[in-house]
Each structure stands twice: as C-alpha cells, then as structure tokens.
Structure 1
Amino acid sequence: MDFDFSDEQMQLRDAVQRWAERSYGFERRRAIAAAGGFDTNVWRELTELGLTGLTIPTAHGGMGLGAVEAMVAHEALGASLLLEPLLPLHVAAAVLQHHADAAAQAAWLPRMAEGTLVVLAHVERHGHHRLDACTTTAVADGATWRLSGRKHVVPAGDHAAAWLVPARLDGALALFGVERGAPGTSVTGYPTQDGSRAAEVVLDNAPGQLVCRDGAAALAWAQDVGIALVAAQAVGVMDRTLALTLEYLNTRKQFGVPIGSFQALRHRAADMKMALELARGMSMYASLRLATPEAQRRQALARTKVQVGQSMRFVGQQAVQLHGGIGVTDEYLVSHCFKRLTQLELTFGDTLHHLGEVAARMTDEAGVAA
C-alpha cells in the first residue's frame, strides 16, 4: 500500500502551513486566548481558505475532500495550536452528511461551507465519556419538538449558530438541531485551559428540528470522526513540541556545552520521537479506517485514541521536564503545547475510557491461548 501523499494533498498541507506561519503566530494566538479564545477575523480567514468547507460535498458549496485530506489539514493546524473550532465544525458536517436527510443537509451544509458555525453539544455532567449518558429529553409539539436539558463543554457554543443536540425521544437517543437564540435557550461561554472556548448550554422547552432518529449511530460516527481529527491535530502539536525541545537542548548550555550533548537527555529526546511516530502511524490508520464497517471502525478508533493519548502524555511531560522551569511559563510556547495536548487527550473520550473500549471489543483470537 502506498502511504505517500499525493501532490494535491501536499499542496493542501503547504497552503495551510503557509497561512499558519504568516498569519497565526504565537503572539497573535496569545492575544486571541487573552481576548476569550475566538477571533472572527481568523474564522473569516479560514473560510476564505476553503477550510470550513473542506469535507463538505461540492454540491453544497464545499471542497468535497476526504478523511486523508482532513488529516493533512488538521495536522498542519495542530502545529499552529489553532484555537478556533474548525475541528468541531468538521465533526458536525460529517454527522449531517451521513445521518441527516436531504432537506437538513441542504439547509445547513452550504451555510457551514460559507463559515456558519454548527457544533455538536453532547457532553453531560457525570457522563464519563459515555455516549449513552443523556438525560436531555425531547417531546413532540405539533410539527416540531421541544427539548429540555443541559449540555456541558460545548466547543465555542456561544459563537455557534446552532447545536446538534442528542436527546431522549420515546426512550431512545435521537439527534436534533437547535438554533442559538431560540426561545428557551441560554448559553454561558468561558475559556478553557488551553485558551480556546467552550460553553454551557441550557435548554428549557426549546424548539428543535429532528436531524435523525438513530442518535446512537450518529454519536458513534461523530466520536470516531472526532478521534481521527484529534489524532491529526495531536501529531501536529507533538511535532511542534519536539522541534522546540530539540532547539532548546541544542541551545541551553551547562558546563560550557549544549545540554543536548548529554547522552541521557538525547535518549529521552529519541523516546519522544518514537512516541510521536507511533501516534503519526495511528493517525493515518484512523483516517483510513473511517471507511470500514462500524464494528471495525469503532475498534480501530478506540485503539488510535489509546496510543495517541499515551504519546501525547509522554511527549508533553518529557518536553516540560527537559525544559525545566521555563517549560511551564505562559511566555514560552511549550507550556501552551502541553496544555493543548492535555485538552486533546480528554476530547472524545480519554485514554483510560478507550482502553476499556478496546478491551470490550477483543475477540478470543486476540487473547493468549490457555
């Protein structure tokens, strides 16, 4: 199998990298984080680059690209520590493409390609990463539906035009679209620990549109797409983290020589590189496995989150330790890399949760013969 990128994929990667290097430097990112974690000018620039419509079909005004192209773009964006919620937008677009009817797709996908932000709002308190942990309810009200419940850590929820909300309908999970600002909705935004933005969303008999009745399948698909994109961004962050660490090891001197010449530190840097490459391979594996049947896909994406989560933790911790005190200061980029990796490790289920998912899907053939 050929794992080399095509010319078009390399051009996409280079275009995103050029934008990040030119327009999304560390100082601009720090200013955006200090201002609340979302910049409308950056969002407009991402839209002009076509990135909001990256995976949306051309029939709906998007670029119509696939999972590998999304991986390439998000890896480059990960290296820039992008704060704006492009990843949640792509997850919501994937859900609409695969689980919404033609009318809902025609209503939302063209607008999303043009930069309208729609995000998934599925996390509830005490859910512990379980997709079926949902107490939000939906009841019929004529031709529409009324939703009541509370959703937590909704990415950039106070900037979204609408949320995709799972709710209990006749005892089963269904997925609804709820517009921000509709009667019965309230939203409270706040910055997250990595500088990005999230919100608490409260629904009190709020009107919603039914997106699909099989909410469980839609959420499983959303989580798997999200894990693949998180893995890609994590690889980009770890690549940047390792580069900064190597630069520091070759610059910082003790006893008149760079500390990178010390064998013990060189070994630790080599271990960071190995962890990064393990994550890179799993990121590619995840993107390719999105096209497989659900059982295979679910197992593959859980495996990916376990390995990438372990790599994120190792690379982040080693980088901070090798830098010493400067590695945790706000003025230095490595501390922001570490915080970003920490938040990505918790996104769409942490490592321990997905280790349980992997174990639950092991077959007899995967064990050791008695």
Structure 2
Amino acid sequence: MDFSFSEEQQMLQSSVSKFVQKDYDFESRCGLVDSDNGFSKEHWQLFAELGWLMVPFTEEDGGLGGSAVDLMVVMEEFGKGMVIEPFLTTAVLAGGLIAASASEEQKLQLLGPLMEGKLQLAFAYSEPQSRFNLADISTTAELQGDNYLLNGHKAVVLNAEAADQLLVAVRTAGEQFDRDGISLFLVNTNTAGIAIQSYKTVDGFRAAEVRFDKVSVPAANLLGEAGKALPVIEKLIDRATLALCAEAVGAMEVTYKKTVEYTQTRKQFGVSISKFQALQHRMADMFIECEQARSILMMAAMQLDANQGIAPKAVSAAKSRIGKAARLIGQEAVQLHGGIGVTDELDVGHFFKRLTTVQFLFGSTDFHTQRFSRL
C-alpha cells in the first residue's frame, strides 16, 4: 500500500510548513496570544488567500476536496508552530457541520464567506455537566410562533469571543440524555439575551462560557431536520478529533527534536548530557512514540476517507494512542530540560501545555480507550 502524499498534498504541506517557519516563530505567537483578538486577522486572511480554508470542504461545496488526509497534512504542520488561529473550530468543526446539515441556501450564505476569511464561527455543544457525552444536552429551544426561544448554558466554547455566529446544539424534544430530540441552530452572537464570558485557556487559546436567556432565533436558522442532529454532530466531532490528533503529532515531533538538541548542548560533568545512556533510552522512547502516533494517525485518516467520514473505532484508537504519546513526550521533554522547561520564556513548556490540553479535548485518552473497547 502506498502511504506517500500526492503531488498536491506535498505542495500543500510545503506551503503551510514555509509559513510556520518564516512567519510564525515562538515570539510572534506569544504576541498573538496576548493580543486583544487572541490571534492574527492578517494571518487568517492569508489562510483564505492561500486556499487553506477551502481544504476541509468538498468540491461540491466550493472547497478543494475535503479529504481527511488533506486535513491531516495541514493540521500536522500547524501543530509544529502551535498555530493559534481558529482553523479547527471555524473551518473544520463549525464549517463541517454547515456542510453536512445545512440547506443549499444556507450553504451559499455561509460557506463562501467562511472560505474567504470573512466569517468566524464557533460550535457551542458542551455543557458543564455533560463532560464527553454528546447526547447530554439540557439547553432547550421552544417553538413560539415563527421563532425558537433558547435557554441554557454552554461551556468551554472555543472561539466564541471572536465568532460572528454560533452553531448551538439544543434540545427541542425528549429528556436530557435522549439521543433523539437534539437540533442545531445558527445564532448571531449579538442577539439579545446572549452572555459571553471569555477567558484564555492554559494552552493560550480562547474559550468562553455562553449563556442563553430567552434568546429568540428565527425558525429559518434551524440547520437540518429538527431533533436529528446528533449523528451529524458525532461525525464532525470525530473529524475534529482526527484534526486535533494531527496537530498533536506535529507538536510532538518538534518537542522531541528540541529535547534532543538541548541535551546535545547542555553539559554536565564536562560532557553533553546526550552522552548519558539512560537519557538516550528516554529520547529513543520519545522518538518511537512519535512515529507510532504518526502511523495510527494515517490509519485513522484513511479509514475516514474510505468510509464516508464515519470511522469511530479508528478515531478512538488514534486518540487513545496519541493521547498516551502526548503525555509521555510532553513530560519527558520538560523533565529533560530541567527547570527551564516550565518557564514562559522557553517554547517547550508551551508545547507541553498544548499537548496536555490535547489529551482532554473532544474526549480524554481514557474515554477514547473505553469507547474503542465498546466498539
């Protein structure tokens, strides 16, 4: 079986890699993290001009193909620079939900501006009590005339502060844990009754608590069939999980390489610590974990492409394996760097924070291990 990238994928990889190396150094990223927006609008517009925002979408929707392997190529390179721009939340997750569930008219209104870099989105699905159960939704939407009234609380909504519109998973029927009765609505963030409390996460990204108090939304803003949104949500969360895993693989590669480089320059007892056999073994383990993670990532991406985007067992296998690798590589990198490894001045500590967050986003390592076992 041929695992090599196509010529187009190699060009895409080269394009993203050059951007990260030339325009996304560690100091620049730190500046963006501390800025008012939390990311660069200029970079976002560049993503649109280079066609990267079209990568997650099919040609029928105006994109470049939409394969999971293409998405993996982009996200792995983004991971090497800890790119802070909301590509995952806006283009992959929210954009993917629109492509999968919206009407043709809604797609025309939303996907074009998104791919042109003119529309920011966020997906509000998780609630304080729900943890990783996508069916645990207590936020409600009640039909009153031609509008729905939304009430509830969504937690850790990535990119909510910068979003122009929110995709909100709500319950229009049934009880809190029922799989049926979950619907998707498109809601403008400036609608009366919405309260957004934004904060910076431990890895430098932005998230928010979003509360809905009698928020009136036109019935025309419903995406897809009422009460039947959960299978679409599960499919797109799995796709986002794969993208996150690809980002983690890129971050792990840089982390272990920087650790090897540091041990070659750091001297103890008159020799570089890379000469110590015990440390050589630990760095060899880091390399092996990274390569195993890359292999299972490729397997999951190919499974998604071969099964019309539905491969939950493969995705959980990848998330479980990569989560364990992220923990080992991140912790070993910090320990082998010593005290400097946890300072804000060194990028290794920031890679460690991102790799730690990756272990819990879209389902923890333990959650996906158990899900794999069930499947």
Q: Residue deviations 1:282-310, cap 9 Å, x none?
A: 21122112235589711111111110100
Contact 2:126-2:156 at 8 Å conserved across structures: yes
Percent identity for Structure 1 against Structure 2: 36
Distance in 1 separating the partners of 2:15 and 2:305 = 26
Question: Is 2:197 aligned against 1:183?
Answer: no
Question: Is 2:24 aligned against 1:15?
Answer: no
Bigger drift between 194-203 and 208-217 goes to 208-217
1:45 deviates by: 2.2
For 1:192, the equivalent position in structure 2 comes to 201
Q: Closer, same or farther in 2 for the Cα pair 1:144/1:290, shift >3 Å? A: farther
Q: Give the alignment's Cα RMSD to 1 decimal.
A: 1.6
1:53 deviates by: 2.2
Contact 1:56-1:109 at 8 Å conserved across structures: no
Contact 2:293-2:325 at 8 Å conserved across structures: yes
Distance in 1 separating the partners of 2:132 and 2:308 = 19
For 1:322, the equivalent position in structure 2 comes to 336
For 1:98, the equivalent position in structure 2 comes to 100
Q: Closer, same or farther in 2 for the Cα pair 1:207/1:62, shift >3 Å? A: farther
Q: Secondary structure at the match of 1:133?
A: coil
For 1:333, the equivalent position in structure 2 comes to 347
For 1:147, the equivalent position in structure 2 comes to 150
Contact 2:264-2:274 at 8 Å conserved across structures: yes
Distance in 1 separating the partners of 2:296 and 2:108 = 34
For 2:72, the equivalent position in structure 1 comes to 71
Distance in 2 separating the partners of 1:322 and 1:301 = 31
Distance in 2 separating the partners of 1:57 and 1:142 = 36
Gaps of 5+ in 2: 175-180
Q: Residue deviations 1:219-249, cap 9 Å, x none?
A: 1012101111011000010011011001001
1:56 deviates by: 2.5
> Match of 1:8, as an amino acid?
E
Distance in 2 separating the partners of 1:45 and 1:295 = 28
Q: Residue deviations 1:165-189, cap 9 Å, x none?
A: 1111121111111111012212121
Distance in 2 separating the partners of 1:120 and 1:241 = 30
2:223 to 208, 211, 227: 211
Distance in 2 separating the partners of 1:148 and 1:52 = 32
Bigger drift between 58-67 and 133-142 goes to 58-67
**Please, what TM-score do these two structures have when normalized by structure 1?**
0.94
Q: Secondary structure at the match of 2:157?
A: strand
Distance in 2 separating the partners of 1:104 and 1:146 = 21
Contact 1:148-1:205 at 8 Å conserved across structures: yes
Aligned length: 361
Task: Flag as ranges the 4+ runs of structure 1 deviating above 3 A.
Answer: 57-62, 291-296
Q: Secondary structure at the match of 1:3?
A: coil
Bigger drift between 9-18 and 206-215 goes to 206-215
Q: Closer, same or farther in 2 for the Cα pair 1:295/1:243, shift >3 Å? A: closer
1:174 to 183, 192, 201: 183
Contact 1:78-1:232 at 8 Å conserved across structures: yes
Question: Is 2:67 aligned against 1:55?
Answer: no
For 1:225, the equivalent position in structure 2 comes to 239
Distance in 2 separating the partners of 1:57 and 1:178 = 25
1:96 deviates by: 1.6
Correspondence list, 1:1-370, <5 A: 1-36=1-36, 37-89=38-90, 90-115=92-117, 116-171=119-174, 172-208=181-217, 209-212=221-224, 213=226, 214-293=228-307, 297-361=311-375
Distance in 2 separating the partners of 1:205 and 1:96 = 24
Distance in 1 separating the partners of 2:242 and 2:160 = 22
> Match of 2:25, as an amino acid?
G
Q: Closer, same or farther in 2 for the Cα pair 1:292/1:167, shift >3 Å? A: farther
Distance in 2 separating the partners of 1:50 and 1:223 = 23
1:336 deviates by: 0.4
Distance in 1 separating the partners of 2:310 and 2:63 = 28
Distance in 2 separating the partners of 1:177 and 1:39 = 25
For 1:365, the equivalent position in structure 2 comes to none
For 2:177, the equivalent position in structure 1 comes to none
Distance in 2 separating the partners of 1:99 and 1:278 = 35
Q: Secondary structure at the match of 1:5?
A: coil
Contact 1:145-1:210 at 8 Å conserved across structures: no
Distance in 1 separating the partners of 2:8 and 2:123 = 30
Q: Secondary structure at the match of 2:55?
A: coil
1:61 deviates by: 4.2
